[in-house]
Structure 1
Amino acid sequence: MNVGARVNLETCQPQTCNPDLLRKLNLLDMEALSAFMPMHLVVANDGRILRAGPTLLKLRPEGGLIGGMFFDVFEMRRPRGVTHIALLPVQDGGRFLVIFREGVRSHFKALAANLSCGRGVLVNLSFGISVVDAVEAYDLSSRDFAATDLAVEMLYLFEAKSAAMSESKMLNQRLQGAKVAAEEQAFTDTLTGLKNRRALGHVLDRFEATGVPFGLMQVDLDYFKQVNDRFGHAAGDEVLQVVARILVSETRDCDTVARVGGDEFVLVFQRLVDTEVLQTIAHRIISRLEEPVPYGGDACRISCSIGIATSVSHPGVGADSLLDEADKALYASKHAGRGRCMLANPDAGSAAGA
């Protein structure tokens, strides 16, 4: 069989097989047929595909349609058992369902009718309920369908829905990002970047509700007022930022460091209730905070006092009460001379030196 030139997809010119035979078939003008049925096939009585519309050719740019046998290219899904092209127009009113045997196995709803010359069958295909999947698989657009095809309306709806969903997704992402940023800001001390009192309350409430054991340190700076009085509040801010970095470096990622007042801090140690370990950490913090903090040409000198309590040493005591116990131990440290730490004593209601 003489095979004509391949289709030019940019100009949507149909590809043909045996032009002489096609002229004898007395079909509609080729350009008009392609415009009204861009997914049509002309199939000879022996099952050979003689002609295909531009959209169908776009689905098989590597060839294989023109000159191929219909039942080699397509697999019948409904009605079953049809193996001859002449049966397509007479079965179920010419309606049938096929899929490609190779490549993307798109479903096609089709309608077949005999040509008046009796020398073949005209088949018109559409994507039916699979239009969205097929459009995505083959990168089709409204230009690949007849203007009156309902598939065009489906494409418009699909594109509008996709655009709306995409915009909604981006909006939700922006809102979620803004929410996270707002929550983070609400729980963060702006000067030091540490957690604030509100964030501390959430952590302690969670540990209390879930029964997670934890250790507490109340930390209060010594001689901080003298720094502000002598060098000004800018120097005090610098000192607070240095203190924050030291406290964070002496804790783990799972621990919480919060600034709860001007020069007051609370450290929460998740599942760390060994008082000897906590005292070691406290002594290390005190030692590091006693190192001078350079400011301009001067040196700011501070220290700190620390009170320690644990949820294990005070069973049945709520988080607020445990904070009070650690606070009592803190002030016992100050009264004992500052620059030291004390353990809360659950029995005597006082503090034990460390």
Structure 2
Amino acid sequence: MLISQMETAPVPRAPTLSVEALGQLMPMFLWLDGDGTILGMGPTLMKVVGGASALGHSVTDCFQMGRGRTRQATFDISPSRRIHLTPRSWPDVSLRGVVVPIVQRGVMLNLTFGVHLNKAIRAFRLTEADFSTSDLTMELLYLQEAKTAVLGELRALNHRLERARRSAEDAARTDPLTGLSNRRAFDIALEASLEAGRRGGAPFALAQLDLDHFKAVNDTLGHAAGDHVLAVVAKILREETREMDVVSRVGGDEFVMLLRDSVDPERLRMMGARIIARLEEPIPFEGHECRISGSIGVAMSQDYDDPVAEEMMADADAALYTSKREGRARCTLSVPGSGGAS
């Protein structure tokens, strides 16, 4: 009895939709007859091809088969075939879909932008209204844009953190009063030069400078004058050394210079003489003249079989105090192992 009822049950009729209703369900549909003539299309697809003027024209007038460089010479719209179309007016945007036969006439294609969605939205100024209400395209796009925005913010944050880290490192290695390197930065640079020398790198000189008569400036004119003098000294040392050299303030009026690839004794004496001559020029401050000088001691890495930081610093310091004992305002070169200086 059940079988008999099933055999005699009426076959339901296929639903009939207007082109407008179909466009609401599938804004990217393309309806073709058997010859490839465009009978109808969704409102979003009309934006892609330039409007309703495409209706009644051959599909080949508006589209090419294939995508990118793999475009085909023939236009195959066989039913159940997956298809890629490229609008002739927008060759950078590819559409994809499937060909489905329809009862009334011809075939129907429901197309999507696929990976070219972002480009299509910008090119055709599409909005949420251009997609079916059941289509998750816009939601996915919003998620992608949100992800891009978040990633952009994270990258910007990382850049800011990196700048802050570098700024903090620079601050940790910089003397705040003079802007020169501090003791920590100098020790790092010295150790790097020593290590490079062990691997056959260029020799270098280590020069210590102690200001003469600086205490008198502080005592008579105050610490503001002393700070001004230190800033002027820093400027002189920058100008008398090269960019490759490292100049550091390591104490109140104590400075040390790492002079890379500077190992000629006569040139070192001449540089020391220039620095001292400039230090002895009067330094004006609030209507007064600050007068100082400087004593310098130098040690050179080529004078050691295996130079180490502590030994070179001690020898440069000894040469510095030789300069002070012999009347100040002079530059003395250390002679390791000889028990003296030159």
Same fold (TM > 0.5): yes
Gaps of 5+ in 2: 1-14
Cα distance in 1 between the residues matched to 2:166 and 2:129: 44
Aligned to 1:172: 158
Aligned to 2:213: 223
Given that 1:52 and 1:65 are in contact with CA atoms closer than 8 Å, whether structure 2 keeps it comes out as: no
Cα distance in 2 between the residues matched to 1:30 and 1:269: 84
1:176 shift after superposition: 1.1
Cα distance in 2 between the residues matched to 1:117 and 1:197: 89
Q: SS of 2:303's equivalent? A: coil
Aligned to 2:235: 245
In the alignment, structure 1 residue 33 sits paired with structure 2 residue 22: yes
Q: 1:314/1:142 Cα in 2 relative to 1: closer, same or farther (>3 Å)?
A: farther
Q: SS of 2:267's equivalent? A: helix
Cα distance in 1 between the residues matched to 2:195 and 2:56: 75
Q: SS of 2:302's equivalent? A: coil
| Counterpart residue type for residue 95 of structure 1 | R
Q: Which sits farther off after the overlay, 199-208 or 146-155?
A: 146-155
Aligned to 1:264: 254
Aligned to 1:49: 38
Given that 1:218 and 1:327 are in contact with CA atoms closer than 8 Å, whether structure 2 keeps it comes out as: yes
Alignment length (residue pairs): 321
Return the match for 1:199 from 185, 198, 216. 185
In the alignment, structure 1 residue 113 sits paired with structure 2 residue 100: yes
Q: Deviations over 1:100-157 (max 9, x none)?
A: 4664434433022234322x32211013355456556666554432232232342132
In the alignment, structure 1 residue 274 sits paired with structure 2 residue 264: yes
Q: Deviations over 1:181-224 (max 9, x none)?
A: 11111111011111100111111121122224222110110000
Q: Deviations over 1:41-78 (max 9, x none)?
A: 22233223344333334445599955653245122369
1:39 shift after superposition: 1.5
Q: Deviations over 1:288-340 (max 9, x none)?
A: 00001111121010000001112112231112321221111111111110000
Q: SS of 2:262's equivalent? A: coil
Cα distance in 1 between the residues matched to 2:171 and 2:116: 48
Gaps of 5+ in 1: 1-25
Cα distance in 2 between the residues matched to 1:269 and 1:292: 27
Q: SS of 1:201's equivalent? A: helix
Aligned to 2:226: 236
Cα distance in 1 between the residues matched to 2:253 and 2:236: 14
Given that 1:75 and 1:101 are in contact with CA atoms closer than 8 Å, whether structure 2 keeps it comes out as: no
What are the equivalent positions in structure 2 for 1:274-313 lying under 5 Å apart? Answer: 274-313=264-303
Aligned to 1:333: 323
Return the match for 1:96 from 66, 83, 86. 83
In the alignment, structure 1 residue 146 sits paired with structure 2 residue 135: no
Given that 1:329 and 1:344 are in contact with CA atoms closer than 8 Å, whether structure 2 keeps it comes out as: yes
Given that 2:246 and 2:257 are in contact with CA atoms closer than 8 Å, whether structure 1 keeps it comes out as: yes
Q: 1:317/1:226 Cα in 2 relative to 1: closer, same or farther (>3 Å)?
A: same
Q: SS of 1:166's equivalent? A: helix
Q: 1:239/1:82 Cα in 2 relative to 1: closer, same or farther (>3 Å)?
A: same
Cα distance in 2 between the residues matched to 1:271 and 1:60: 71
Given that 1:197 and 1:259 are in contact with CA atoms closer than 8 Å, whether structure 2 keeps it comes out as: yes
Aligned to 2:6: none
Q: 1:210/1:31 Cα in 2 relative to 1: closer, same or farther (>3 Å)?
A: farther
Given that 1:132 and 1:158 are in contact with CA atoms closer than 8 Å, whether structure 2 keeps it comes out as: no
Cα distance in 1 between the residues matched to 2:101 and 2:59: 15
- Identity, in percent, stands at 45
Q: SS of 1:328's equivalent? A: helix
| Counterpart residue type for residue 133 of structure 2 | A
Q: SS of 1:126's equivalent? A: coil
Given that 1:114 and 1:121 are in contact with CA atoms closer than 8 Å, whether structure 2 keeps it comes out as: yes
Q: SS of 1:312's equivalent? A: helix
Cα distance in 2 between the residues matched to 1:151 and 1:315: 73
Given that 2:64 and 2:75 are in contact with CA atoms closer than 8 Å, whether structure 1 keeps it comes out as: no
Q: 1:126/1:296 Cα in 2 relative to 1: closer, same or farther (>3 Å)?
A: same
